[in-house]
Chains A and B, each alone.
Chain A
Amino acid sequence: MSRLLSRVGAAALGSLMGASLLATPVMAQQTVTVGAIEILSGPSAAYGTAIKGGLELAMDEINAAGGVLGGKKLALIVEDSAGNKDQAVNAARKLVGRDKVPVVIGPTLSNEMFAVGPVTNDRKVVTIGTSTTAKGITELGPYIFRTALPESDVVPVTLKTAKEKFGVKTIAMMYANDDAFSKSGFDSMKAAAEQLGLTIATIETFGSKDADFSAQLTKIKGLNVDAITISALVEPISGVVLQARQLGIPDSVRFIGGNGANSPKLGEIAGAAADGLLVGSPWFIAKKGETNEKFVSTYKQRYGKDPDQFAAQAYDTMYIVAKAIDTAGAADSEKIREALYKTDFNGVMGPFTFTEGRDPASNEGVVVLSMKNGRFEILE
Chain B
Amino acid sequence: MLSQQLVNGLVLGSTYALFALGFTLIFGVLRVINLTYGFYFSIGAFVALTVAREFGATIWVALPVGALSAGVVAVVADWILLTRLRRAKAGELASLMVTLGAVLALYSLMAVFIGTDIQRFPFGFVDNTAIEFGGIRISLVQMLIVGTTFVLVAVLFLLLQRTKLGLMIRALAENEDAARLMGINVGLTVAAVSFLSGTLGGAAGVLIGLNFNAIQPFMGEHMMLRGFAVIIIGGLGDIRGALIAGVLLGVLEVLTAGYISSNAKEAVAFTILVLTLWFRPVGLFGRAQAKRA
Contact = CB atoms under 8 A, between A and B. Distances in A.
Contacts of A8: none
A237 B55 CA distance: 29
Nearest to B118: A235
Contact of B118 (A42, A222, A248, A265): A265
Contacts of B263: 177, 205
B218 A215 contact: no
B111 A211 contact: no
A271 interface: yes
A204 B254 CA distance: 13
A270 B120 CA distance: 9
Contacts of A45: 111, 115-116
Contact of B8 (A41, A204, A206, A218): A218
A100 interface: no
A218 B5 contact: yes
A246 B130 contact: yes
Interface string A126-147: 0000000000000000000000
B185 interface: no
Nearest to B142: A246
Contacts of A204: 257, 262
B212 interface: yes
B111 A206 contact: no
B113 to A, nearest CB: 13
B116 A205 contact: no
Contacts of A219: 1, 257-258
Contacts of A265: 117-118
A269 B208 CA distance: 15
Contacts of A221: 1
B137 A215 contact: no
Nearest to B116: A45
* From B108, B116, B253, residue with most partner A Cβ within 10 Å: B116
Interface residues of A, number: 33
Interface in A192-249: 204-207, 209, 211-212, 214-216, 218-219, 221-222, 235, 238-239, 242, 246-248
Nearest to B5: A218
Nearest to A248: B137
Contact of A248 (B8, B15, B117, B132): B132
Main secondary structure of the interface of A (DSSP, over half): helix
A269 B139 CA distance: 18
Nearest to A177: B263
B213 interface: yes
B4 interface: yes
A9 interface: no
* From B9, B115, B213, residue with most partner A Cβ within 10 Å: B213
Nearest to B3: A218
A46 interface: yes
Contacts of A248: 130, 132, 137
B262 A246 contact: no
A218 B15 contact: no
Nearest to B256: A215
Given A42-B111, A235-B214, A206 B137 contact: no
A43 interface: yes
Contacts of A111: none
B199 interface: no
A368 B84 CA distance: 60
Contacts of B222: 209, 211
A44 interface: yes
Nearest to A42: B116
Given A45-B111, A214-B12, A215-B253, A205 B214 contact: no
B214 A269 contact: yes
A216 B137 contact: no
Given A206-B262, A218-B1, A211 B212 contact: yes
Contact of A44 (B116, B128, B211, B266): B116
Nearest to B117: A46
Interface string B158-191: 0000000000000000000000000000000000
Contacts of B258: 215-216, 218-219
B16 to A, nearest CB: 10
A78 to B, nearest CB: 16
Contacts of B116: 41-46
A265 B214 CA distance: 11
A41 B253 CA distance: 31
Nearest to B208: A211
A215 B257 contact: yes
B8 to A, nearest CB: 4
A219 B139 CA distance: 18
A247 B5 CA distance: 11
Interface in B216-242: 216-219, 222
Interface in B69-106: none
B265 interface: yes
A154 to B, nearest CB: 24
8 contacts: A46-B115, A215-B254, A215-B255, A215-B256, A222-B1, A235-B214, A239-B214, A247-B137
Interface of A: 41-46, 177, 204-207, 209, 211-212, 214-216, 218-219, 221-222, 235, 238-239, 242, 246-248, 265, 268-271
Given A218-B8, A247-B4, A269-B119, 5 more contacts: A177-B263, A212-B15, A218-B1, A248-B132, A265-B118
